[in-house]
Structure 1
Amino acid sequence: MSQARVFLLPDLGEGLTEAELVAWHVSVGDTIVVDQPIAEVETAKSAVEVPSPYAGIVTELHGKPGETLDVGKPLISVTPLFTGVAGGADADDAAPAPSPDDHAASSMSSGSGRPDATPGAASSAPAASEAAAETYREEEKAGSGNVLIGYGTPGGHGVARRTRAPKAALSVVEPVETKPVNTTEDDLSLLRTRVPGKLGAVISPLVRRMAREHGVDLGGLQGSGDSGLIMRRDVEAAISTPAVEPAETRRTPAVEPVETKTADPRTGLAVSARTPVRGVRKAVAANMARSRSEIPEATVWVDVDATALMELREGLKAKGGEAPGLLAFIARFVTAGLKKYPELNTRIETAEDGSQEIVSFDGINLGFAAQTERGLVVPSVRGAEKLSARELDAEIRRLTQVARDGKATPAELGSGTFTLNNYGVFGVDGSAAIINHPEVGILGVGRIIDKPWVVNGELAVRKVTELTLTFDHRVCDGGTAGGFLRFVADAIENPTSLLADI
């Protein structure tokens, strides 16, 4: 019996140390190929489908949906299908792979003692086994090139190459050692689980042992695998289903149990639910707590007359063109402001000896807060200083949709250098936002509403919004923060001065 290869949960990017197991795409006993998605996990930044770097039979799943797994810990164990392939398994130890005509490969030794044996099968078995093993080796070499930290497949063409061996090669798999055929209780159980009309729809020894230990009659089970193959999940379902007592022996309890809720010791109220903090919510909580504990933040704000910006946008729409969204216009003003006040586009790094450095960047990755079903995430527009308002609008829309679909990459969610937060969409005017660690500033935009405003000495009704800047006081003082905020406010009040590139 060969040793199973254990696939460890890889580093999914950005140095993440854990991931929540959302769902398995395979079960124990399933036959998988290289690059086949085996599980969906949710990191602190996105949902990811993990492909298998190995092909073979799934022998163990290391975790249950909802559990948090550490990077570098076992995720799945896979036993190779054939001997001579990376320490592959005996034919009697692995569930058979289906052949092109949907007939599963038999795990019984060839020869006259086998009911479906054919003349000459014994002499051709070694060659057939080697051909099948070669096919297996070719499939493992045909990966798509998916790169997982610590793993990888060499292909790189996007689709795994499947090479089929001749039908005879897949119909017989010979064990390394020839053993006399003994009719045992286990062999009888094996034969009883054949599907009529199929040559080798049998169960693996692992599943047979589980059934034997729990007293499950395999002859009465309907397999859920290919060609009626009985899988581990079928036996587990039979174990978990209680036997039905005869009607005359069943008793009805005199008192029905009443579900009680645990009382909270502090409030005395019943606890209605407990929700684990994990996934995106766990990452947000940790990041916000770190920001509050490490960053000495300060906040400045200003009311802004956005009437001219609103009129500019309406004018573009009236001309029949596609007008960028208001957030894209403000993003354009923010990138111009960060060029003038680069102190707010930095990061503080602390060395092991406690010394600190302010790290400046040659470029701006502008993050923006996006609300999704999985919680608040902050995708970032990379190289935002190079983009026009229209280009910023297109990228913001793309990243918002990707984030809401849960498909944003770690690089898209963890590379920002400054964050723009439009909380006005929630109907609020202002907020003392928490800085997105390890950045040093975040600009919030409130709702745009009609307010009385003095224009040229006269009172008028104008479209007014509030800008709020929260900044790390270690990297700059109030003069720099106020200068940046005033720059963005002036650009909103006089948008044509900065929007020649729209």
Structure 2
Amino acid sequence: MSMTTFNLPDLGEGLTEATLLSWLVAEGETVAVDQPIAEVETAKSAIEVPCPFEGTVATLHGEVGETLEVGKPLITVTTANDDANDTNGHAGALSYREEERAGTAVPAEEESSEGSGNVLIGYGTSESNGRRRRRRRERAAQPAPAVTAQKTAEPKQTKAPRVSSPLVRRLAREQGIDLSSLTGSGPGGLIMRADILAAAEPSNPTTEAAPAGADSHTGLPVRERVAVAGIRKAIATKLSQSRTEIPEATVWQDVDVTKLLQLRGDLKAAEGQAPSVLAFLSRFVVAGLWRYPELNSRIEDTGSGQEIIQLEGINLGFAAQTDTGLVVPVVREAHSRSARELNAEIRRLADAAREGKLTGKELSGGTFTVNNYGVFGSDGATPIINHPEAGILGIGRIIDRPWVVDGELAVRKVTTLTIAFDHRVCDGGAAGGFLNYVATCMENPGAALADL
């Protein structure tokens, strides 16, 4: 018998911490390889963390609601042997790329190992998942042991209430407030700092609440202080890095999309459904990137200089607004998908984003991004490049505007396309050529799709 400690793994995208939402196992319980042991919430989404070892839970390192650091102990398991462990008896935190590779091949000498190498659900060997299912069936077939009167019931695992930041949890502890008793005033019931302060006020209605502190810069009362944490911190870090490192330039073009809307209307009338404008735009963007590969690239430091890495395939990201902030899900191998297939995958990822169920893989690895800010009523914008990509293309709202058609003035459906690009990877000629190609496809979608 040996003790093996499994650390909170690398969750991808440079994330360094996660909030423990719930334990899915209890101390003294037997766990199987790849069995989910905890649910954690990162700045990106909620993730179930599986255990890569089989054994008995000895110690759970952390309390529900606590913020855990990547690489720090998560769970200690008593195992029959430590063949699957490293030389120090600890399961090291795998990087996201290692997690991806974990499911591609299993060395022959490791096929009988009790540790699968899994870190996040969906990565690892299929054989280990089969062993897990067999063990569950075997345990289910065994008669339940007699329960003595002295045995205590295992604690019921509950999910931690959703709060806007770890500082809110700390404030609740200091005020002696039970978070599970509160109904948050934020989006989706999110518990805010104001909710904690309101719960901490005396119940006597004649007692006046203490005045909020004044802002030192303006002298005005402070309505609320919200820590830059979680997804807000991740967004701030990413966009600051983009603005700091990438010398970007912006080009835009007005586009008549009357024919595109007519095409969508015809498809919907004939089939009951049609790809969204974003799906058509994504298909044309992918085609444009094949013609202008400079924009499907990134800058990489080599230690002695920099290289432009042009990529053969296209992983297309798209901006999605959720109740907790902006995320960029990624459509893998977008170059191999039709407009209908892109539409289906965009919808699936957008739904998962709103439910907070996106995986680390679905939120990383993009090579170019599209953004439909027209849904917010904006005509145009200067989008910030999603570092380390080389470009982002945005589309504004579609409105009726006067337009010259065949020498005559007409009312047409017009929008504005904007591209922000990394001026290090290409010049305005390539960016303008790419933008004009996408605009031409949007104006004449039938002819464009016939060639794709």
Q: Could you state the TM-score of these two structures normalised by the residue count of structure 1?
A: 0.66
**CA shift in 2, pair 1:389/1:167, >3 Å:** closer
Q: Distance in 1 between matches of 2:224 and 2:43?
A: 23
Q: Distance in 2 between matches of 1:324 and 1:315?
A: 11
Contact kept, 8 Å, 2:254 with 2:417, in 1: the verdict is yes
Residue matched to 2:402 = 452
Task: From the CA coordinates, give the structure whose radius of gyration is larger.
Answer: 1
**Which residue in the other structure is 2:95 paired with?**
none
- Structure 1 338/29 Cα, relative in aligned 2: closer, same or farther at 3 Å? closer
CA–CA separation in structure 1 for the residues paired with 2:141 and 2:369: 59
Match of 2:287 in 1: 336
Tell whether the 8 Å contact from 2:259 to 2:443 is kept in structure 1 after alignment.
yes
* Structure 1 residue 8: Cα displacement: 1.0
Aligned CA distance change for structure 1 residues 165 and 366 (closer, same or farther; 3 Å)? closer
**Match among 156, 161, 165 for residue 129 of structure 2:** 156
Report the Cα distance in structure 1 between the residues aligned to 2:271 and 2:57, rounded to whole angstroms.
59
Cα distance in 2 between the residues matched to 1:307 and 1:168: 69
Note if contact 1:41-1:50 (Cα within 8 Å) is conserved in structure 2.
Answer: yes
User: How many Å apart are 1:488 and its aligned residue?
Assistant: 0.9
**Separation in structure 2 between the aligned mates of residue 47 and residue 54 of structure 1, nearest angstrom:** 24
Q: 2:374 aligns with which of 410, 420, 424?
A: 424
Q: Following superposition of structure 1 onto structure 2, how do residues 454-473 of structure 1 map, counting pairs within 5 Å?
A: 454-473=404-423
Partner of 1:7: 6
Deviation at 1:17, TM superposition (A): 4.6
Residues 315, 3 of structure 1: alpha-carbon distance in 2 compared, 3 angstrom cutoff: closer
- Cα pair distance change 1:258/1:46, threshold 3 Å: closer
Change (3 A) 1:369 1:323: same
Residue 267, structure 1, aligned to residue 234, structure 2: no
CA contact (8 A) 1:144 1:159 kept: no
Asked if 1:199 corresponds to 2:197, the answer is no
Alpha-carbon distance between aligned partners in 1 of 2:141 and 2:284, rounded to the nearest angstrom:
65
Contact 2:15-2:43 within 8 A present in 1 as well: no
* SS in structure 2 at match of 1:420: strand
2:271 counterpart SS class = coil
Q: Distance in 1 between matches of 2:308 and 2:29?
A: 53
What is aligned with 1:147? 118
Name the SS of the counterpart of 2:267 in structure 1: helix
Distance 1:352 1:376 in 2: 33
- Write the distance in 1 (CA, Å) between the matches of 2:3 and 2:207: 48
Secondary structure of the corresponding residue to residue 270 of structure 1: coil
Task: Choose 267-276 or 158-167, whichever is displaced more.
Answer: 158-167
| CA distance in 1: counterparts of 2:380 and 2:148, whole angstroms | 71
> In structure 2, what is the equivalent of residue 474 of structure 1?
424
Matched with 1:73 is 72
Q: Residue 33 of structure 1 aligns with which residue?
A: 31
| Distance in 2 (alpha carbons) for counterparts of 1:356 and 1:152 | 34
| Deviation readout 1:405-446 (Å, 9 max, x if unpaired) | 222222221111111101111111000000000001000000
- How far, CA to CA, are the matches of 1:19 and 1:11 in structure 2? 9
Identify which of 336, 341, 347 aligns with 1:386: 336
> What amino acid does structure 1 have at the position aligned with 2:22?
W
Deviation at residue 310 of structure 1 after TM alignment: 0.9
Structure 1 residues 269 and 6: CA distance shift in structure 2, 3 A: farther
Distance 1:338 1:262, change over 3 A: same
Displacement of 1:257 in angstroms is 9.0
Shift of 1:271: 3.0
Instruction: Summarize deviations over 1:351-387 as a string: whole Å, max 9, x none.
Output: 223x110001111111111112232111122221222
Residues 337 and 28 of structure 1, relative CA distance in 2, 3 Å threshold = closer
Rounded to whole Å, the distance in 2 between the matches of 1:156 and 1:314 is 46
Structure-1 residue corresponding to 2:302: 351
| Counterpart residue type for residue 147 of structure 1 | N
Offset, 1:224: 6.6
Contact preservation (8 Å) 1:337, 1:484: yes
Counterpart of 2:332 in structure 1: which amino acid? R
For residues 38 and 275 of structure 1, do their structure 2 counterparts lie closer, same or farther at Cα, with a shift above 3 Å needed? Answer: farther
Are the counterparts in 1 of residues 299 and 307 from structure 2 also a CA contact under 8 Å?
Answer: yes
Task: Provide the secondary structure at the position in 2 that maps to 1:499.
Answer: helix
| Closer, same or farther: CA 260–337 of 1 in aligned 2, 3 Å | same
Q: Which amino acid aligns with 2:148?
A: L
Structure 1: which 5+ runs fail to align? Answer: 88-140, 172-197, 204-222, 227-239, 242-252
Whole-angstrom CA distance in 1 between matches of 2:50 and 2:352: 20
Letter in 2 for 1:159: R
Q: Is the 8 A contact 1:61 1:76 kept in 2?
A: yes
> 1:12, 1:160 → 2: CA distance?
28
- Letter paired with 2:267: L
**How far apart in 1 are the matches of 2:390 and 2:356?**
26
Q: Which one is further off, 71-80 or 361-370?
A: 71-80
- Following the alignment from structure 1 to structure 2, what is the Cα–Cα distance between the partners of residues 62 and 17? 18
Is this contact kept in 1: 2:297–2:390, CA < 8 A? yes
In 2, distance between residues paired with 1:285 and 1:337? 30
Structure 1 counterpart of 2:436, which letter? R
Q: Deviations over 1:19-64 (max 9, x none)?
A: 3214122586563523443322123433211123354345343355
CA distance in 2, matches of 1:166, 1:457: 80
Counterpart in 2 of 1:46? Answer: 45
8 Å Cα contact 2:317/2:330 also seen in 1: yes
- Give the counterpart letter for 1:262 in structure 2: G
Deviations 1:208-258 (A, max 9, x none): xxxxxxxxxxxxxxx6749xxxxxxxxxxxxx99xxxxxxxxxxx9x9795
Shift of 1:147: 0.8
CA contact (8 A) 2:316 2:367 kept: yes
**Corresponding residue number in structure 1 for 2:194:** none
Q: How far did 1:389 drift?
A: 1.3
1:240-281 C-alpha deviation (Å, 9 max, x unpaired): 99xxxxxxxxxxx9x979545333322233333332323322
**Cα distance in structure 1, aligned partners of 2:142 and 2:360:** 44
Tell me what 1:62 maps to: 62
Q: Which runs of 5+ in 2 are unaligned?
A: 83-111, 157-175, 178-203
Please say if 1:294 is aligned against 2:276.
no
Query: Structure 2 vs 1, CA of residues 293 and 202 (structure 1 numbering), >3 Å: closer, same or farther?
Result: same
User: What's the CA shift for 1:480?
Assistant: 1.1
User: For residues 5 and 200 of structure 1, what CA distance do their matches in structure 2 show?
Assistant: 32
Of all paired residues, the percent bearing the same amino acid is 54
In 2, the alpha carbon distance for the partners of 1:55 and 1:260 equals 55
Q: Give the whole-Å Cα distance in 1 for the aligned partners of 2:360 and 2:143.
A: 47
Are the counterparts in 2 of residues 9 and 70 from structure 1 also a CA contact under 8 Å? yes
| Cross-structure match for 1:317 | 268
